[in-house]
Structures are given as C-alpha cells and as structure tokens.
Amino acid sequence: MSETDGGAPGGTPASGGAGAEGVDLHTDRAHGARIYDYILGGKDHYAADRAAGDATLQVWPSLRIHMQANRSFMHRVARYLAADKGIRQFLDIGTGIPTSPNFHEVAQAIAPESRVVYVDNDPIVLAHARALLTSTPEGRTAYIQADMREPETIITAPELLETLDLSRPVGLSLIAMVHFIEDDDEAYRVVRRIVDVLPSGSYFAAAIATDDFAPEVLARVQEVYHSHGETLRWRTLAQAERFFEGLELEEPGVVQIHKWRPDHVDVGRVDDADIAMYGGIAYKP
C-alpha cells in the first residue's frame, strides 16, 4: 500500500503509457503512488489506479483518513527535525508524486538554507521531478531515481554527495516505505545500510505499516492490493521497533502516526482503527 508521500520501490511493470519527457509511466497496472494520489484527490492517476483505490475503499472506507494522517505525519517530521532539532539537510526516500507542501517546503519555511535530496523509483515521480526542485535560493534540492532495495545506488549517487555533507547530521525520512519489502531480513538490512552511512547526530524517521488495530479488514485490504499487483507487508509493533535498533527513540517512541506529537487541533479526532501505520523518530548517537 503506498501511503507514502510516495511510491513503491517495487518491480518494473511490463508495459504502459508515456508521460512527461517520454517517461514510461506503466499505466496498464496500478501503482501505489498513483493510488495515493487518487485517494487524496490528485490528478496523476489512471484507470488501473482508480480501480485499485475504489476496491480498497469498499473494504476499508477509512483509507482516505489513514492516508491524510500519513501525510500529516510527514509534515510534522519535517517541522520537528528542522525546528526542534536544528537539522538542515535531509534525505527523503519514497518521495512520491509532488504535492505542496513537499518536504523541502516545510523544512525551508523554517530554515531557508535547508538541503533536501529526494529518492524514488516511480516513473511518474521522475516525470514531475521539477516540482521537487523549487528550492529557496539559500538552500538546495536534488532528485535521485533509485530503488531503496539497492541502497548503494543511493548512498553513492553524485546528486546526494554533491548536495549533502555526510560529515554533518542528516535527517533520514522513510515514510510508509518498508511495507513494499515483504522479506523482513531484506527490509532491516536496507534500512540499516542507509542509517549506517549517517554521521553521529543524525535522525531517522519512519512510518511502518501495521494491521495491529484492524486485522480482519486489513487482511482484505492486503488481498486487494495483491490482486492489483501491489506489495503490502504488515508488521507488528515489535517488528516496527526493530527498525530503530541501536538508535535513541524520541518521545513518545514508536506509536500510531496520528499519536506522534499530533497538532493540538487533531488530538482525539482520529479513531485508532482508522490508522494502519506506526511512526517514530530516533537519534543516532
């Protein structure tokens, strides 16, 4: 399920239509980023994406609430790291279809000198990547077309090395991404490899899909996604916490995303059963 701001790091579909600059958007099959866009009222989606989104809404009408909560969590992550922790450079993996405010817009509204490197492998994100490059004059943004399951291609990319100073703290954001990796060992390995290159003083933020709060209906959601060719792996609280091993969790720890330092106006407005994602931020000593 792509509740990312973003798209899946998944496989390569067989065929499809071409988008901006001749990018093959693979419109013949549903894609997580476009389902996300459709559910939230965007314009960058096709018939296969709408079919998958409608089928999911039929079995889980709370999907839209869940996705809105995920985007709100991303905004709070950016604000917290920029305003409270003084982070000025960020690596956002699983960027998704640009929708303002994007991560860099939130961070640069607080600190105009902030630098953000975006990563996604969804072809529709590449087609719209210019919208991610609207940095302030003081800051900088860059985009890497890469698959998170191949972390070496990310951490060695010229765009990253030219934009971020890896001797200074970095805010790593992996919002609603690891559920696209079904194998647990691979998921933990990928995350650990990226965290390992970050210097001391960095922060790691993640949102991890779970069915802990509505297992029966979310089992049907998983069936719908699989039937439309999308990957979805639920994880328990203990499995979610394992992604932060060796790091120091910020309060309140790993909790459902709507409970992680919510905006005052949102407190108590969302039912736990409507949210299928754990979230947390941790400090790298």
Residue 33 located in a structural domain: no
Show the CA angle centred on residue 238, arms to residues 234 and 243, nearest 5°: 80
By CB atoms closer than 10 A (0-12, 13-18, 19+), residue 138 is exposed
As a whole number of Å, the CA-based R_g of the chain is 17
The enclosing H or E element of 281 equals: strand 277-283
Q: Which residues contact 140 (CB under 8 A, 6 or more apart)?
A: 115, 116, 163
Give a three-class secondary structure readout of 197-244: CCCCCCEEEEEEECCCCCHHHHHHHHHHHHHCCCCCCCCCHHHHHHCC
Contact between 27 and 48 under an 8 Å Cβ cutoff? The reply is: yes
Instruction: Give the pTM.
Output: 0.88
CATH (domain of 147):
3.40.50.150
193-251 tens-digit pLDDT: 999 999 999 999 999 999 999 999 999 999 998 988 888 999 999 999 999 999 999 99
Q: Give the lowest-confidence range in 81-95, 167-181, 266-280.
A: 266-280
147-173 tens-digit pLDDT: 999 999 999 999 999 999 999 999 999
Residue 57 located in a structural domain: no
Per-residue confidence band for 24, with pLDDT thresholds at 50, 70 and 90: low
Tokens coding 102: 């994007």
| Residue 267, pLDDT score | 61
The CA distance from 209 to 203, in Å, is 20
CA 10 to each of CA 40, 83, 243, 256, 258: distance values in angstroms, whole numbers, following the listed order: 21, 33, 20, 25, 26
| Residue 25, pLDDT score | 62
Q: Answer yes or no: is pLDDT of 102 > 80.
A: yes
Q: Within 10 A of 139 (CB to CB), how many other CB atoms are there?
A: 18
Residue 26 located in a structural domain: no
Residue 49 located in a structural domain: no
| Residue 42, pLDDT score | 82
Residue 73 located in a structural domain: yes
- How many separate domains does the chain show? 1
Show the CA angle centred on residue 200, arms to residues 102 and 196, nearest 5°: 80
Residue 123 located in a structural domain: yes
30-48 tens-digit pLDDT: 777 788 788 888 888 889 8
Residue 70 located in a structural domain: yes
Range of the domain at 185: 65-213+236-283
Residue 75 located in a structural domain: yes
Q: Which amino acid is at 205?
A: A
